Amino acid sequence: MLDPRFVIFASLFNLVGSAVYAYKTFKGETKPNRVTWLLWMLVPMIAFFAELQEGVGLQALMTFMIGFGPLIVFIASFLNKQSYWQISKLDWVCGILSVVALLAWKVSGHGDIAIGFSVLADALAGLPTLIKSLKNPQSEHYAPYLASAISAGITLLTISNWTFAYYAFPAYILLFGLGVAAIIHFRLGRLFFRVEAAQ
């Protein structure tokens, strides 16, 4: 187990990854959907405060940074004419799940419920980006996803109290970040669509 203070070091990966993506957004090299990045800002913040309620210590910093990074990208998106607002059914479901997470948290008093809903909402918010990464990887950049996965991996290595509140969000971020980064960097969508076209 690593010293919990390594989470501070891990959070720098999130900051750098988001800064790279924000810069590429500003330059017009990426085309973020503002709705997705807005949700990616809000949902982790719900999980962050729920983690604090459940007694998660320094490890909660990673969850906070997972929400802070998208805030930077969201702001940068207004400097990029190619960025867009597109509210899909998934975005609505995500927003509703976020509200449900807050209500369930307030009614039950259990942060684990809010964290569980937050993981689900964040994953649903990420589906449009996952699909876009498969179909149009050049419109994305792998940096923030890989950085968040590294940060989550380091955070998991600092955990001594393996309860849901401690590991749920970092474990999800590790898997999602690695998956999307690999899809974008290695253009894995080409393999999927070739197989699909051959059928």
**SS3 state at 84:** strand
- Number of folded domains in the chain? 1
Residue 140 lies in a domain: yes
Looking at residue 11, what is its pLDDT? Answer: 93
Spatial separation of the C-alpha atoms in residues 190 and 172, rounded to whole Å: 25
Looking at residue 20, what is its pLDDT? Answer: 94
Low-confidence ranges of the chain (pLDDT < 70): 192-199
What pairs with residue 33 in β-bridges? Answer: 84
Residue 91 lies in a domain: yes
Domain extent at residue 134: 6-198
Tokens, residue 165: 């509140």
Looking at residue 199, what is its pLDDT? Answer: 46
Is pTM, for the whole model, over 0.95? no
Looking at residue 98, what is its pLDDT? Answer: 80
C-alpha gyration radius of the chain: 17
Looking at residue 92, what is its pLDDT? Answer: 82
Residue 1 lies in a domain: no
Looking at residue 198, what is its pLDDT? Answer: 47
Residue 190 lies in a domain: yes
Task: Centre a 10 Å sphere on the Cβ of residue 103 and count the other Cβ atoms it contains.
Answer: 13
Looking at residue 168, what is its pLDDT? Answer: 96
Q: Which residue has the tokens 């810069």?
A: 23
